[in-house]
Structure 1
Amino acid sequence: MSETGLRERKKQRMYQAVSDIAVRLFLERGFDAVSVAEVAAAAEISKPTLFRYFPAKEDLVLHRIADHEGEAARVVAAARAEGTAPLAALRRHFLDGLAAADPITGVNDHPQVRAFYTLLYGTPSLVARLHAHLERSEAALAEALGGGLGARLAAGQIIAVRRILAEENWRRISAGERVEDVRREAVDAAGRAFAALEAGLPHLAAGGGSGPGPGHPETIVTE
């Protein structure tokens, strides 16, 4: 492996180790009760070094879902390379996540997963940071869809649907409902939601070609 590859692996291990330490402390004592200096001390690094890896305290937590930031864009890019309709690929990807109990879909009741999402959704500053994560997801997806206003409108709708489905699943899990009950109904809900997207965004529902130009009326879902 090249020296560059080794450096990147070391960097990623550092990200993961520091994030894990921070999340453990936040879960034990609360996000606001733990300072960045305490996280740095526990990780045995300096505070300036910590901020080189994590520009904001909230990023220590959001690192857990950072890989999902460009997920929708990657799914669309792969689908178009294969000639598959973007929405068909996104629907399948979400359903696969439900089947695999991927925490990002909200259908997972593992104690550590529940604790993490309770921390995330129960801390206002983390919720605010999460919205920035979603905005970057939208921007990446819009670029994968061809860019322009039409693509941005479509990306906003798609990311919103994925977010709302996952939040509803999580709400039910956190309320104590059985995972299998939630998953079964989540599959139906996802089917209905993506059908609505396909009806409002027909250029993304058929074929793998490029969508309409910016501002095209088909990029806006109507009732």
Structure 2
Amino acid sequence: MAQAEPGRRERKKAATRQALSGAARDLFLERGFDNVTVAEIADAADTAVSTLFAHFPGGKEALVLGHGGEREEALAAAVRNRADGVTILQALRDFLATRGPFDPAPDPLSRRVADLVVATPALRAYARTLWTGCEAALAEVIAEQAGEEAFSARLLARYVLEIPDLAGTEPDPPAALDAAFAHLRRGWPGLI
């Protein structure tokens, strides 16, 4: 069944969210995250501050990194929809390898945003919160797909979700990502 086109109201909400995110990103890249106020972002997007918070209750950090629901869905899909013969750990590594500081070929704007996140303590902390907030959903899909007992699945999910924060700040993030998964494969040999 074909998905219905979004209505006018939904399109307007999406356009407002896009305008706010774009204005915030441009201001943050130009002046630094800590040197921009929500009032300046709202003004640049031609909206009210209350509108900004209605669309982004997480505040300035959410303007750059979103709310986390997309991550949760994408992580679960990476495990559930992996190709035959691809292990759970490999699917998770491959998924992370396309994100933020691990992306091998980002467009210049994406690279600048990833660098901003890594260099800004508030953004880095928020990103970590978004990743670790996916723990229950990831643990559930790992347990479902691998037959792991609940605690083992939670443990693995927790370790995987700490990797973006730990490896993403290393001098060579892709190499650190590979090293992190090498350690995990030793701890969960059945999921290799």
Say whether the fold is shared (TM-score over 0.5).
yes
Instruction: In structure 1, give the amino acid aligned to 2:141.
Output: A
Over 3 Å counting, the alpha-carbon distance change for 1:198 and 1:7 in structure 2 is farther
| Distance in 2 between residues matched to 1:136 and 1:21, nearest whole Å | 26
1:8–1:79: structure 2 CA closer, same or farther, 3 Å change rule? farther
Aligned-partner Cα distance in 2 for 1:198–1:116 = 31
- Contact 1:19/1:64 (8 A) holds in 2: no
By how many angstroms is 1:78 displaced?
1.6
Choose between structure 1 and 2 for higher RCO, CA contacts under 8 A separated by at least 6 residues: 1
The counterpart of 1:58, out of the listed 61, 65, 75, is: 61
**Contact 2:102–2:177 (Cα < 8 Å) also in 1:** no
For residue 91 of structure 2, what is the aligned residue in structure 1? 89
Is 1:198 matched up with 2:192?
no
**For 1:197, what is the secondary structure of its paired residue?**
helix
> Match for 2:154: what amino acid?
R
For the residues of structure 2 that align with 1:33 and 1:131, how far apart are their CA atoms? 22
Does structure 1 retain, via aligned residues, the 8 Å contact 2:65–2:127?
yes
Q: Tell which deviates more after alignment, 125-134 or 83-92.
A: 83-92
Match of 1:178 in 2: none
Unaligned ranges ≥5, structure 1: 173-181, 206-223
Question: Which residue of 108, 116, 120 maps to 1:119?
Answer: 116
Q: Which amino acid aligns with 2:55?
A: Y
Find the aligned partners of 2:109 and 2:129 in 1 and give their Cα distance: 24
Alpha carbons 2:124, 2:165 under 8 Å: kept:
no
Aligned with residue 29 of structure 1, among 28, 31, 35 = 31
Once superposed, what is the RMSD of the aligned Cα atoms?
Answer: 3.3
Evaluate the alpha carbon distance shift between residue 11 and residue 84 of structure 1 in structure 2; reply closer, same or farther with a 3 A threshold: farther
Match of 2:161 in 1: 159
Residues 70-219 of structure 1 aligned to structure 2 (within 5 Å): 70-79=73-82, 84-94=86-96, 97=98, 103-108=100-105, 111-146=108-143, 148-168=150-170, 171-172=171-172, 186=175, 190-205=177-192
CA contact under 8 A between 1:76 and 1:144: conserved in structure 2?
yes
Choose the corresponding residue for 2:44, options 42, 53, 62.
Answer: 42
1:6–1:167 Cα change, 3 Å: farther
2:128 touches 2:162 (CA, 8 Å); kept in 1? no
Cα 1:52/1:113, change in 2 over 3 Å? same
Partner Cα distance (2:164, 2:13) in 1? 30
Comparing 18-27 with 1-10, greater Cα deviation is found at: 1-10
Give the Cα separation in 2 of the matches to 1:41 and 1:122: 25
Residue segments in structure 2 that go unaligned for 5+ positions in a row: 145-149
Structure 1 equivalent of residue 147 of structure 2: none
Structure with greater Cα Rg: 1
CA contact (8 A) 2:93 2:177 kept: yes
